[in-house]
Amino acid sequence: MRILVAGATGVVGHPLVGALRARGHQVSALVREESRARAPEADAIVVADALDREALLAALSEVRPEVVVHQMTALRLMTDNPPEAFAQTARLRTEGTANLVAAARAAGARRLVAQSIAFAAAPTGDTVVDEDVPLHVDAPDPGWAATVQAVAALEVQVLGASLELSGAVLRYGTLYGPGTGYARTALGQQILAGQIPLPGGGAGITSFLHVEDAVGAALAAVESEATGAFHITDDEPAPAAQWLPHYAGVLGAPAPRTIPVEMALRMFGWFMTHQLTAAAGASNARARTELGWKPLRPSWRDGLGQE
């Protein structure tokens, strides 16, 4: 198939291009001009900014993909400018998605596969939830509410594009592995420095996903006809009270100290405190059944903190 990967320089998009080509697909990599040097080896390099609708329409008309894969974020900016990273990612999930849907339809694509997140569910009191739980668009923290609203907008656009353009949304769990925020060179350094204490009892649940499994799920979705939203996570949702001390142990760091939730709110803000104390995990049962996908790394214990 002719496939276009938008966001082809990202932590998932870059290896996905190679994985798709290894399966015999003809792959075009969509990159911005300033990212051209980081583009993966592909059958074609397509240069356009997803926020420029006319440029995107022209770019996709050249390669006429049958399937478009949306892996676009601006999270590369997280280290230097977190507010800008979140703001630009929100634009890509709203305005960028609208432009990509329009360009895909105009180019005659029949399928759109898009990246989303598995940790944006509204509270239900359950420790693990499925895809039917509403997104937390009215979260008490304005920043997180804006992020989830952008995620919701992306999902509506992808899943409701048209009858001719079937949509699948991959809600990735918390990514770990090379190049991610949970790599040894990122969160690992904060844990080594004792900067990530454990709030309260650490009851918040995280569903992890190795970046290689994110690539595998995208590959499965491209080759599937299944539509809808799918949680793409490993098989072991874990409370912070388990995974954070484990990560520290892998690094040879002291066990994280315990602090009151009120102190965590002052240190971390609402979102991170919520994730560590009250968030729900995500079930991957639907992806296993409908996409025929399963994680090659079923437990975060097999790699978290090792790369």
pLDDT tens profile 114-128: 999 999 999 999 999
Task: Please give the pLDDT value at position 81.
Answer: 82
Lowest mean pLDDT segment, chosen from 14-18, 38-42, 86-90, 245-249: 86-90
Mean pLDDT, range 129-145, rounded to an integer: 97
Question: pLDDT tier at 84 (50, 70, 90 boundaries)?
Answer: confident
pTM, full prediction: 0.96
Classify each residue of 231-245 as buried b or exposed e, where b means 16 or more C-beta atoms within 10 Å of its C-beta. Answer: bbbbbbbbbbbbbbb
In angstroms, the CA 220 to CA 9 distance is: 20
What's the rounded Cα separation, in Å, for the pair 208 and 56?
A: 33
Looking at residue 135, the DSSP 8-state letter turns out to be B
> Mean pLDDT throughout 243-257?
96
DSSP string covering 179-232, please?
A: TSTTSTTTHHHHHHTT---EETT---EE-EEEHHHHHHHHHHHHT----EEEEE
- Residue 244 has what pLDDT? 98
Q: Which residues pair with 169 in a beta bridge?
A: 114, 229
The phi and psi torsions of 44 (rounded to 5 degrees) equal -155, 145
CA distance linking residue 66 with residue 109, whole number of Å: 4
The reported pLDDT for the residue numbered 278 is 97
Predicted confidence at residue 207, as pLDDT, reads 98
Q: Which of 217, 104, 222, 76 is nearest to 162 (CA)?
A: 104
Question: Domain coordinates of the chain in residue numbers?
Answer: 2-176+208-232+283-296
The residues facing 171 across adjacent strands are 116, 231
Average pLDDT, rounded, for the chain: 96
User: Residues 26-51: what's their mean pLDDT?
Assistant: 96
Q: Which fold has domain 2-176+208-232+283-296?
A: Rossmann fold (3.40.50)
| d(C-alpha 112, C-alpha 107), whole Å | 12
